[in-house]
Structure 1
Amino acid sequence: MMIAPEFVGKRLEPVVLRVPRERVVAFARVIGEVGAVHWDVEAARAAGYPDVVLPPTMLFGLELEVRGEELLVEMGLDPLRVLHAEQSFTYHRSVHAGEELRFESVVADVYRRMGGRLEFVVQETAVYRGGEHLVDLRQVLVIEDEETV
């Protein structure tokens, strides 16, 4: 299956969410985060933050949770044939529990490799707090073309 090139530049509906402190603390503990600013509100405040700081990879999970398979379904892709190939984060500011975050995503690129057998979808997301740009997320998904297998 070839993904239509018109998906490049497609903007997804923005998503707004607020992250409860309990979720941040639980995530930090599960991944073994040792920095107290991620799970101890007093340590975070002593370090000058308004609340616990989200561990860097938490935003990716939050976006996946609220968007689910929306983009894949719209592209006509079988989510069971999609692999998560890459992710990156560029932080401009720290993100804290209790803040209202806005995720604005775009399909930045679609391309093929290995003689067309693998197709890649690049999604870029900017995360905002109010009008303040906090983080840029980038993920690359890979799909094996079932017609070339």
Structure 2
Amino acid sequence: MSVDRSMVGRELEPVLVEVERGAIRRFAEALGDPNPVYREGRVAPPTFPTTFRFPLTELGIEPSRVLHGEQEFEYTRPLRAGDRLVCRTRVADVYERTGRLGRMTFVVVTTEGRDEKGAPVFTARSTLIVR
């Protein structure tokens, strides 16, 4: 596995994600969030896109070697049950740091989710630590 700066700018194949009412309910329950809008599965909690899976192996990254470092989201509107989103993920940055356990590689990816009309719904920025 070779993760280096040459990956910056690389895009994964787009992924179609369907936001399902049951998945929203289960996610809200797992969080312990009592908000009825989430518990009824109508609207997804703000961190719901963490459940979306993207093929990191396309980048040569073995998922079992990844730690979740950081996540942030920006929305133009809430995610709703029934949304079908085309998600595009791109490598925004790659850098290394040395810690107590040695060198670690940090991969920053951005994911943009757009609805079926092409309107932006959310942008996520994730920092992955590859060990």
Q: TM-score range by the shorter chain?
A: 0.7 to 0.9
| Whole-angstrom distance in 2 between the partners of 1:86 and 1:143 | 13
> Which of the pair is proportionally richer in helix?
1
Partner of 1:82: 66
Shift of the 78–19 alpha-carbon distance from structure 1 to 2, 3 Å rule, reads closer
Which secondary structure state, in structure 2, belongs to the residue aligned with residue 108 of structure 1? Answer: strand
Give % identity: 38
Partner of 1:49: none
* Offset, 1:37: 1.2
| Whole-angstrom distance in 2 between the partners of 1:81 and 1:114 | 17
* Offset, 1:58: 1.2
> Which of the pair is proportionally richer in strand?
2
Q: Name the count of aligned residue pairs.
A: 128
| Whole-angstrom distance in 2 between the partners of 1:136 and 1:77 | 22
What are the superposed Cα offsets for residues 93-122 of structure 1, whole Å, 9 maximum, x if unpaired? Answer: 111001111111100010111288111100
Shift of the 122–91 alpha-carbon distance from structure 1 to 2, 3 Å rule, reads same
TM-score between the two structures when normalised by the length of structure 1: 0.76
Is residue 2–residue 119 contact of structure 1 (8 Å, CA) maintained in 2?
no
Which secondary structure state, in structure 1, belongs to the residue aligned with residue 126 of structure 2? Answer: strand
Is residue 2–residue 60 contact of structure 2 (8 Å, CA) maintained in 1?
no
Is residue 118–residue 143 contact of structure 1 (8 Å, CA) maintained in 2?
yes
Task: Trace 1:1-149 onto structure 2 (pairs within 5 A).
Answer: 3-40=3-40, 52-61=42-51, 63-64=52-53, 67=54, 70-71=55-56, 73-114=57-98, 117-129=103-115, 130-144=117-131
